[in-house]
Amino acid sequence: MKTQVAIIGGGPSGLLLSQLLNNAGIKTVVLERQTRDYVLGRIRAGVLEQGCVDLLRKAGCGDRMDREGIPHEGCYLSTVEGMFRVDFNAAIGRQVMVYGQTEVTQDLYDAQDAIGATIIHGVSDVVLHDLKSDAPYVTYTVDGAEQRLDCDYVAGCDGFHGVSRQSIPVDVRREYERVYPFGWLGVLSHTAPAADELIYANHPRGFALASMRSKTLSRYYIQVPLTDRVEDWSDEAFWDELRRRLPAEVADTMQTGPSIEKSIAPLRSFVTEPMRWGQLFLVGDAAHIVPPTGAKGLNLAASDVNYLYEGLRAAYLDGDQSGLEQYSEKALARIWGAMRFSWWMTSLLHRFPEQNEFDQRMQESELQQLATLNSAQATMALNYTGLPY
């Protein structure tokens, strides 16, 4: 089989890139390890930057998001002293869209089906070949038979545990990492959200986040030790701990109910450079991971997709290679900005095991500036709503 762009991974990165390229008349084949139901069953991101919203609309996948998504013009930060709002719109005239990654992925699948895009699920043994040549190819197994896919380019959209990043020689790769000494216990519940906007809580017992997916579906997280297991946490224990960490005026009135999803995610900051090697381009989680505190993971995948789409489009339609040549440098410039913000939000809001009283006072002082200084709010708003593409 031959195509123009082989896309490894059918998560948000792979599906959005496939949609944009096919809309431009560029042929793709998406190779996905899991089943479609498995991909759609993942509960992940919940907040879309304006750039991501605009890209989904550009791809023709924004209609349901525009109907069902919830625009948010700010968020709350809370400490034991109380809760205050960071007003994105007042500070810089921008907002975010609350719309779950699960819905984004469903919309992308629907759009791909509508144009008859080729997505092959259940693949295994994916190997990338001759990436430094002008005729790379991919081998893989599906339904017990080995297949070969010849292509011009390979987009590695296969996430942190995929094969694409590993296909770049280890002596070529430069990797940067910080693993955080805690995880997030997340719960999804058919309950009304605790507040009209997200609440990020800095509490002596640990971080908490009150988020949502709709007016009847809420998403909550609490910081837990890495040694905790999901089975250690009953629903009742989760709700009790969450209420301890949220402001009393919220905790006393919030609706609780059975969890419909409960999981613990580890937190890490990770970047690999370069994001191009020959005809292979790394996209999204294949190249970088952020702690979800800044709501950047899915949104960084979107900006990578944007840069690679524009580069491939120019190469195919105008014979202009400059976008592809600049892809890695351009994507990494924005990635490092979001990496810093995600690290800053995580450092500001969590309890670290080795944290002492001085560290505690530094967090409280920074939160006090955010509560009282327009300039501090503007900087947070710029980063949270999304650095420019």
Can you give the binding site for ligand FAS, defined by CB under 6 A? 8-14, 31-34, 39, 44-46, 101, 123, 126, 157-159, 161-163, 265, 284-285, 292, 295-299, 301
Site for ligand PHB in 187-206 (CB under 6 A): 198
Which member of 288, 291, 292, 309 is catalytic? 292
Site for ligand PHB in 247-266 (CB under 6 A): none
Nearer to ligand PHB, 131 or 290 (CB): 290
The enclosing H or E element of 384 equals helix 374-385
Length of the chain as a residue count: 389
Among 33, 72, 165, 219, binds ligand PHB (CB under 6 A): 219
Runs of H (alpha helix) within 257-373: 297-318, 322-349, 357-372
Buried b / exposed e along 346-371 (16+ C-beta atoms within 10 A): bbbbbbeeeeeeeeeeebeebbeebb
Among 10, 14, 46, 159, binds ligand PHB (CB under 6 A): 46
Closest Cα to residue 325, out of 285, 362, 278? 278
3-state secondary structure (DSSP) of residue 113: helix
**Would residue 200 show up in a list of annotated catalytic residues for this protein?**
yes
Contact segment (CB under 6 A) with ligand PHB among 43-51, 224-232, 251-259, 302-310 equals: 43-51
Angle at 371 between CA 367 and CA 376, to 5 degrees: 80
| Number of residues forming the site for ligand PHB (CB under 6 A) | 10
Among 10, 292, 323, 386, binds ligand PHB (CB under 6 A): 292
- DSSP string of 250-274, one letter each residue: HHTT-----EEEEEEEEEEEEEEE-
Give the span between the Cα atoms of 364 and 367, in whole angstroms.
5
DSSP annotation of 110: H
Nearer to ligand FAS, 360 or 389 (CB): 389
Structure tokens at 233: 């946490």
Q: What residue 334 binds from ligand FAS, ligand PHB, none (CB within 5 to 8 A, per partner kind)? A: none
Residues facing 71 on adjacent strands: 97
Among 272, 279, 293, 306, binds ligand PHB (CB under 6 A): 293
Q: How many CB atoms sit inside 10 A of residue 38's CB?
A: 12
Structure tokens at 107: 């919309």
Q: What residue 293 binds from ligand FAS, ligand PHB, none (CB within 5 to 8 A, per partner kind)? A: ligand PHB
Angle at 14 between CA 9 and CA 18, to 5 degrees: 130
**Would residue 72 show up in a list of annotated catalytic residues for this protein?**
yes
Site for ligand PHB in 295-334 (CB under 6 A): 295
Q: Are 309 and 293 in contact (CB under 8 A)?
A: no
**Would residue 296 show up in a list of annotated catalytic residues for this protein?**
yes
Minimum distance from CB of 81 to ligand FAS (Å)? 26
Structure tokens at 360: 């505690």
Minimum distance from CB of 208 to ligand FAS (Å)? 14
**Would residue 327 show up in a list of annotated catalytic residues for this protein?**
no
Contact segment (CB under 6 A) with ligand PHB among 41-49, 135-143, 160-168, 352-360 equals: 41-49
- DSSP string of 183-231, one letter each residue: EEEEEEESS--SSSS-EEE--TT--EEEEEEETTEEEEEEEE-TT--GG
Minimum distance from CB of 359 to ligand FAS (Å)? 25
Encoded one letter per residue, x for contact with ligand PHB by CB under 6 A and - for no contact, window 47-66 reads x-------------------
Structure tokens at 270: 């990770």
Nearer to ligand FAS, 265 or 371 (CB): 265
Which member of 180, 200, 316, 327 is catalytic? 200
Active-site residue list: 72, 200, 292, 296, 384
Task: Give the interface with ligand PHB as residue ranges (CB under 6 A).
Answer: 45-47, 198, 211, 219, 292-295
